[in-house]
Each structure stands twice: as structure tokens, then as C-alpha cells.
Structure 1
């Protein structure tokens, strides 16, 4: 990778090697797992990893770990460039279709553009002790991770149904489950009746985490991993993604996966869906169309200027609350330009001065009805 793209930016997290049983800061066991961030060229970080590898004589044993020492963890290296990483991405086409980052039966293929680390591949370049704090994947999508080696990685997780209890423990320990980096104390989880699974990912192993699995990860040795998300085209996976999408709206937490856009694109593709999936998708589209129709009616009632402007090239989120903006974008009207500037949702726009707003409408209701009618039931 260094030969191919030596100056590629890689995110660096500064951490301290600790036992995976808990997280310590200033001598106290706490859940908040902070790690200052900076950016470096890939070449610079690769030299650091190589130097550490030689100093620990890791050729003989790549799983040498020394608690208490400081480390740099290289994370979120973007491998989405299909020309630059053509050979590597083609290798991933050998995987079963249901775990590929691109496939017509992967719902994330209907976003319509790259969402880094979600429907694209990222690399994680690790030295012993590197940590990925606890989380569920965005919108509870499935996680796919391959360990290139040479060392091992420890994974800790709990079944999806225990995330509300984990959320309560996060509140008790003064961390935000969705927004903060956290590392739980295993003893606290056991005392709360939350089961913990721990497993070792050897070089060449693929870890697949089903939808919504809370997990946290620590490198046992020197290893490089690649990872992405997928969302199988099944009722269970679709429903759990929608459930988290709506929870994020309530908590004003941004959903990187724009589920309205995904679902309307899926309908427009005209694929045949089994009965359960068809019913779930149709119900979500009906609610989406009903909501959009009410907003359009409200706009007309208030006499707000509306312009038609189709633009599928960019995902839009509200400037204030970070919710997905699909079809209707509220922007400030200076009376001279129809260009989309800073977009807002209706709720946030109405909390400000309403008199100087206009609405950009990307799809008419008739167009959405046409897309809806393309949805097919597989008999």
C-alpha cells in the first residue's frame, strides 16, 4: 500500500496499551475511552509500524504486547479508489455475495454514492494494543472484517438484544452510547447480566457480525485489517436498520446511511422482493410519501417559494439536527439565486425566521408514485 499511495492520509489515534478487561485513565477505571486524533501520510505511519516490529523482534512472535506503553493506531485508511486499488478490490469479489461490499442484494449498494467505511473498504494498520472502542455499526448494519496478519486481534461483543442494557450502563458511567468512545469493564457487564463473547481473529480469518451486534476490538499483536459494512436484503436486517434510523432521528444523531434515499432507490430499481421484505419496504415508502405530502401541503399553505432541482450527486443533511434530507431542502432565499446553499429540514427552518426561506424540491410526488409502483413482489 505504501508503494501504491505513500502520501495517502491515515487517521492516527494516540492510545495506551491496556488490558482488554477494562479501561483506565489517570489511575481510575472509567468507560470513556478517549484517544486524541491527528492525520499523517501512510508512509510515515508505515515506518513507525516497521520500527516497532523490529524493536519487538516480532518476526519470531507477532503477538508481543507490553501494557502501559504509548502507541499510535492507524485507522480509517480509505481504499475506495477503484483505479488505485483495482487488484485488491477485485480479490474481494471472490467472497460470497452476501458479505461483499458491492452486490445487488446488499442494500448499501443503493446509497448511490460512496459512504467511506460503510459501503467502501477501509484499512486498519495496528500495533499491539490498538483499540477500536465499543459501538454498533451505523444503522446496525453487519460488519465484515478480514485480518491480513501477521498477528491476532481480540474481539469482544454482546448479542444485539442487550444493547438497551448497555446503553443504560453507558449513562451510569457518564458516556453517550451513540456519540462517545467507550470501553466497558467486563466485570460490570457480567454483574448486569450482559453476556460477553470473546474470540480471537487469526491471520486470514473473517469476522462477520450480524446486524446490531455491539462490539469492541483490541489488537493482540501487529496486524493489518480491512473492513466494511453490508446490509442483506432481508426483512430482519431492513427492519432493524429502520428502527435505528428512527432512534437516531429522536436523539438527533446523524445516520451515515440515508435510509430514505436507499429505500426509494431500491424501489426505483424494480427488483423482485420476497413477501416479508416487500411488505416492510412498501410500508416505509408509504410513511415517507405521506410525510412528504404533508410537508408539501404545508409549504403551499404558507406560500413559500418552491423550485424544482433534481440532484442525486450529493447526500444532504440538515445543518442543525443532522437528519437526512430527501426530496425537500429548506434553504435561505436571498431572491437572487436558486443554488442550494446550507440546507435545513422543515422543523429546524421553522424554528428560525420563516419569511426568508425557499424550498428545493428534488422529486415531485408524482415521480415518487412512479418509483413506488416499480416495487415488485416475488411470487
Structure 2
């Protein structure tokens, strides 16, 4: 990604206007190309610093101006116009796992990320992406950057635009350095006020392409936390925290999400899922599937509030499955039971990217199941094309869901049940 570097307290467009929207352009390059660009910039900056230390102070401003003119390049157009503006590159979302797209060209059979993994495994369990006490460990598949580790390589001024984590999950961010990062953070209790302010500024809340003004945030009466993350410091971003970050210099960060096993996190994620459905925003974390997977392993039963929340949501989703099956059968649709083939489960709609729980509406070409396209109950399927048909697939039949539910609630003490009621 190419961005416009500027001071952390402002965001000015290439037309000189103070706005929230960030100036950026997406591009792609190899790691070798990026690192070469980075080394060249660092070399030029060190050369300037060396000259400034020995030159006559009267000549320093002119030397800096000359340096800036030489470094400014305009190899990319912005909105169709060539501008003499200094684009700064930001290498984002580099997956440190062999299954990711950016690892396809690596030598097979070799663990290229063993050193990094060994270091991260030394962290406490609640900070690790794959620990069983982490809600995200119960997705049962990789969601890159969520329950896997990603790396971010930054130039001076690289911006991570304002956002909340997927499904309001917590996250870990470790600054490998050498430079610092400046963080802004707002607690999730101010979600409604923030969403209103973002809309007033002409931005869409879920789109990560804006940089809030400190002044505007303070005028709105919203508490703002600002701090510096130095080299080798780790930031724990708590549940639902709205945040944005700028690099003060050249640095590398690694980050991933964690799902604390507590009621606040689970409730916040369920609220986020409902909000995503209403706003038709992509859902990265299948929270209903997470709850059922965790319940099947009888996890989190010793947390009363969390247990009650899980049981309540399981009741609702089980009832929904029963009603949905009745509707499918009453309309005479083809219906396949894939209860013993759960490994093939695709939990996201191919159109709106919302979570699909257990029963998938499928567009199939002929008898080729490998090309099935998954839809949620709301999105429509066009079956007018030749050799295509609509059918439904269930991954856990009602008998299995009931068994999971009964095993999850069976040993709850009588007083606990009465209290919950």
C-alpha cells in the first residue's frame, strides 16, 4: 500500500484540505523489492543526517529541501492525475504461515517461520492465537490475520487507519522495532458516538480508510487515549477498542487476534455479528460456529455468565435450524445430510460474506460438488442457467445438535439452573 506521510496530528489531502479520509493507493511488489526500497531510503536518510551534523547550520534548511526534492517521486497516479507527492510504502498483512498465499513460492517441506513461532510460543497462553482457552481456536480453520500471525513492515509515517478488530475481538500487537509507533485508542462504550461522528465526516464506519482528528474527537466529548509503543513493546488491545496507529520511523510489527474466554467478549462479538448482518458488512469470525464447536468440547462451562450466554445462543440457533428444515421440506427442495463430512464445511456466504450456520443454500453445477457455491438464507440464487440447481446441505443434523446441547448442559447443578431461570 502507498500512503502520504505526514505528522501524526493531522491528515491533509493532496489538495490541501483537512479531512478524515486517508490518501492511499494499493499496489503489489515482492518482499525483495520492498526491502530494497526500504534500504535505499534508510541509506539516503543516514547520509543526510551525517551531512547535517558536519555542515554549517546556515546551510541545513537548504540541504533538507534539496533532499526532499530528490526523494519525492510520482510513479503512481492519484485519481487520474500525476502529483509530485511523496508516497510512502506500507507492507501490510504478510502472513507468517505456510498455508497463506504469500507463502506459495517458499520451499516446500521447510518451516520458514519456526524461529518466529518459537518466540511467540513463549508468550502466556491467553496471548497465543491457538490456545484452546482462546475463543478463536474454535473456528477450526485458519482465518488469516485473525487466528494466525501477520507481519507489517512500515516506513516513516505509515498509517494503520481507524478500526475495531473483527467481531470486536481483542488483539496483540508487538513492535519489533527499531522505531516507535504512536497509538490512539477509544473504549467500545463510545461505539455509538463514534459511528455518528464518522458518518458526519463523510466516512463509512466499517471502511478502514480514515484518520480521525484529535480535535474533532475531543470536541465530541469522546475520551481519547494516546501513547507511544517503543521497540520490543507489546500492546494488548482489549475487547472492542477503536484504534489507529502511525509509525514514527522504520519498524516491523506482528499482530493477531485473541478471543478472551469471558462474557464481555462473547456478548460483544454477538452484538457485532448482529450489527454486521444489519449493515451487510463482511463477517470474518463465525461466532455461532465458534460457540457450538466450543460446546462440543465442553469448554467454558465454569464461567457462569459465559456459559449462560452460550446456552442461550445455542437454544436460538437450534430452534432456527429446526424451523429452517421444516421450511425447506415444505417447499420440496433437495436436502443433503453431510453430518459425517463436517471437514468440508464452508461457513461464509459467497455473496454477502455473512456467517452461514450449519445449513447452507447451495448452487450446484451438474453433480460436481467441488464447485458448490454457498449462500446464506437471504441471498438469492440464479438457477436459470443450464445444468445448475439449488439445494440445501446440513452439516450437523438436528439429532447431533441436540446431543451436543444435552452434553453441554447435563451436569449443571440444580441451583445453577434455577438461578439462570
Residue 166 of structure 2: which of 114, 138, 155 is its match?
138
- Tell me how far apart the structure 2 counterparts of residues 128 and 23 of structure 1 sit (CA, whole Å): 15
Aligned to 1:39: 28
Aligned to 1:74: 91
Relative distance call for 1:113 and 1:338 in structure 2 (3 A) is: closer
Aligned to 1:106: 134
Indicate if the aligned counterparts of 1:113 and 1:313 stay in contact, CA closer than 8 A.
no
Indicate if the aligned counterparts of 2:90 and 2:158 stay in contact, CA closer than 8 A.
yes
Aligned to 2:148: 120
- Tell me how far apart the structure 1 counterparts of residues 47 and 302 of structure 2 sit (CA, whole Å): 51
Q: Does 1:287 align with 2:333?
A: no
Alignment of 1:10-89 (within 5 A): 13-25=1-13, 26-57=15-46, 69-81=86-98, 83-89=111-117
Aligned to 1:7: none
Q: Does the residue aligned with 1:343 lie in a helix, a strand or coil? A: strand
Aligned to 1:317: 348
Please, what TM-score do these two structures have when normalized by structure 2? Answer: 0.81
Indicate if the aligned counterparts of 2:4 and 2:23 stay in contact, CA closer than 8 A.
no
Alignment of 1:267-278 (within 5 A): 267-271=295-299, 272-278=301-307
Q: Does the residue aligned with 2:36 lie in a helix, a strand or coil? A: helix
Indicate if the aligned counterparts of 1:307 and 1:338 stay in contact, CA closer than 8 A.
no
Q: Does 1:368 align with 2:396?
A: no
Indicate if the aligned counterparts of 2:364 and 2:372 stay in contact, CA closer than 8 A.
no
Relative distance call for 1:288 and 1:122 in structure 2 (3 A) is: same
- Tell me how far apart the structure 2 counterparts of residues 288 and 208 of structure 1 sit (CA, whole Å): 32
* 1:274 shift after superposition: 1.6
Answer with 1 or 2: which has the greater Rg.
2
Q: Which runs of 5 or more structure 2 residues have no equivalent in the other structure?
A: 51-67, 73-84, 100-110, 414-421
- Tell me how far apart the structure 1 counterparts of residues 382 and 322 of structure 2 sit (CA, whole Å): 21
- Tell me how far apart the structure 2 counterparts of residues 147 and 356 of structure 1 sit (CA, whole Å): 51
Q: Does 1:94 align with 2:122?
A: yes
Aligned to 2:80: none
Residue 227 of structure 1: which of 246, 252, 255 is its match?
255
* 1:60 shift after superposition: 8.2
Q: Which protein has greater RCO, CA pairs closer than 8 Å, 6+ apart?
A: 1
- 1:91-150 deviations in Å (ceiling 9; x for gaps): 111111111112111000011111111111111111110000000000000121011111
Q: Would you say how many aligned residue pairs link Structure 1 and Structure 2?
A: 363
Aligned to 2:206: 178
- 1:219-242 deviations in Å (ceiling 9; x for gaps): 001111110110111111111111
Aligned to 1:307: 336
Q: Which runs of 5 or more structure 1 residues have no equivalent in the other structure?
A: 1-12
- Tell me how far apart the structure 1 counterparts of residues 141 and 368 of structure 2 sit (CA, whole Å): 27
Relative distance call for 1:76 and 1:58 in structure 2 (3 A) is: farther
Aligned to 2:78: none
- 1:234-288 deviations in Å (ceiling 9; x for gaps): 1111111111011101111111111121111101112233211110111111111
* 1:58 shift after superposition: 8.9
Aligned to 2:390: 357
Q: Does the residue aligned with 2:171 lie in a helix, a strand or coil? A: strand
* 1:378 shift after superposition: 7.9
Query: After the TM superposition, which of the residue ranges 173-182 and 369-378 deviates more from structure 2?
Result: 369-378
- Tell me how far apart the structure 1 counterparts of residues 370 and 148 of structure 2 sit (CA, whole Å): 30
Indicate if the aligned counterparts of 2:175 and 2:230 stay in contact, CA closer than 8 A.
yes
* 1:312 shift after superposition: 2.7
Q: Does 1:149 align with 2:177?
A: yes
Relative distance call for 1:41 and 1:334 in structure 2 (3 A) is: closer
Structure 1 vs Structure 2 CA RMSD: 2.5
Query: After the TM superposition, which of the residue ranges 134-143 and 179-188 deviates more from structure 2?
Result: 179-188
Please, what TM-score do these two structures have when normalized by structure 1? Answer: 0.89
* 1:332 shift after superposition: 2.9
Aligned to 2:104: none
Indicate if the aligned counterparts of 1:122 and 1:228 stay in contact, CA closer than 8 A.
yes
